[in-house]
Amino acid sequence: MNENKIKDAYNKNDKLEVFLPELNDDELDWAGEPRQTAWVYNKLKLGIGNVWVDNENGYSMQVIDRGFRLLSVVNHEWPLKTVAFMMATLSSISHNLEVDIAIVIPYIESPEDQNETVNNDIIEVDEIGLEVA
């Protein structure tokens, strides 16, 4: 997703929901399964105002009276898809995910990831040989 699209959307007062990926029927079914809804209920039990940061999935949330409030999300495919799943799970139990005040954090590739990519392109050879027929 283009970072400028999100900036332009905020300038036009569009909602972040517009930029979340659409889930297919299988994904929506998965989002409503007991394991996912149990996770939501466990988070809701922490109490209104509780905040958690999920660095691995690129978002932070707060418990509110009828669901969660998205505080921040990284502008990358994985975190946005995770938020879409969470919205579907909350919806399946008649709760909401507020995204109106969410801060969109630009995605910056880590130097470790860049080094891994570069190193994967290098082929090391111990011996060079020429086969003659």
pLDDT in tens, 7-31: 554 554 456 777 789 999 999 999 9
CA distance linking residue 108 with residue 58, whole number of Å: 12
Q: What is the pTM of this model?
A: 0.71
CA–CA distances in Å: residue 10 to residues 14, 17, 18:
6, 11, 11
At 115 the pLDDT is 54
CA distance linking residue 111 with residue 52, whole number of Å: 26
Q: What is the pLDDT of residues 94-120, one digit of tens each?
A: 999 999 889 888 888 877 655 554 555
Answer yes or no: are the C-beta atoms of 101 and 132 closer than 8 Å: no
Burial of 76 per CB tally in 10 Å (0-12, 13-18, 19+)? middle
Q: Which residue has the tokens 């060079």?
A: 128
